[in-house]
Amino acid sequence: MKMTITERILADHAGLESVKPGQLVNCKVDIALANDITAPISIKEFRRIGAKKVFDKERVVFVADHFAPNKDIESAMQVKMVRDFSAEFGITNFYDAGTMGVEHTLLPEKGLVGPGDLVIGADSHTCTYGALGAFASGVGSTDLAAAMITGEAWYRVPETMLFNLKGKPRKWVGGKDVILYIIGKIGVDGALYKAMEYTGDMIGHLTQDDRFTICNMAIEAGAKNGIFTADAVTKEYVNGRFKREAKYYASDPGANYSEKFDINADDIELMVAFPHLPSNTRGISKVGEVKIDQVVIGSCTNGRYSDLKVTAEILRGKKVAKGVRLIVIPATPLIYKQAMNAGLFDVFMDANAVVSTPTCGPCLGGHMGILAEGEKALSTTNRNFVGRMGHRKSEIYLAGPAVAAATAIAGKICSPEDVL
């Protein structure tokens, strides 16, 4: 039976020769992940059930990234619960202040996830790891508790949508622009419980970081997962990093897809998602006059070193506009150190930006940049729902780091060409 890459991974992890869309399967998981918001719920379920051990001390991963460093007593108690559980059950991969980073950037960087894996995470943006050729999907905390105990999870095999990415992206256009363009075309429920598979010659022009960004936002189209077939770029990324043996899957020629889309690079300009949905997108040429109070560059979507390099390239020698706050958040300690040693922090601080320790922070309205009533933010994060980053009467616009850096300088949403 001819299968897509998603179906092949699920079949192998279910111990079956083949699967088909709609089929219910029970799969062995390679990694079970949770953070400081979702892990405490899983831990409470774990204890309520009366479990005595986790299925594998090295494959249960906890990252305290959402409210870390702890912003208040409640968040401190949340992390303490995870810290104590990790000590009690010998969890090898618990990342606390000093070692923690934004989870979906940290795990690939640490080599904890890789090609061919099946990853279950109590965070919706777990789908990020599809960029490595893995099946990765978010679940609820109770499902995560069951996976922590059994090392297994059940799935309904999703249908797959194929996106044929063609051509070479324009200057400054990156993975964020590609996925915002796609979500704008299909809508926030356009891929509901489906796999979003990417192919085409554009992929050769996309960095590994671009691919992480594209898969990260599959959930913003309602997808179960996003996925690329691993290529030379992926293999270079995981070589010497991934801690287990990689297994490379690909879709069979003639595999069945529910829908197919051709996405042409020439049609994709720098993109901006207007409030209050990631699908409410416009090309930069159609944005108009939108003044901004705050710019955030970071998160599991765009807090990688390549994002910070783009930011510094545009900011160098310039100042953030009066009345605008620019917050730059490297996603992991390694990225923080790389940016600092490369002199990027000097560029940011000379421009009057704030540089934060790694954290999810403002992305979910946690801390490090909460919006007041009536304020507008341009953010490289992944969601712009009502109240997502603060007051319910604030507004969030989503874009990539190039637009974000230019916007911070101009005080209004604009292209890098407008400030360089």
CA distance 107 to 126: 10
Query: How does residue 97 score in pLDDT terms, banded at 50, 70 and 90?
Result: confident
Tell me the pLDDT tens digit for each residue of 218-254: 999 999 999 999 999 999 999 999 989 999 999 999 9
73-89 and 39-49 helices, crossing angle to 10°: 50
Average pLDDT across the chain, whole number:
96
Rounded-to-5 percentages of helix, strand, coil across the chain: 35, 20, 45
Confidence (pLDDT) at 1:
87
Domains of the chain: 5-263 (3.30.499.10), 271-418 (3.30.499.10)
CA distance 114 to 353: 34
Tell me the pLDDT tens digit for each residue of 108-124: 999 999 999 999 999 99
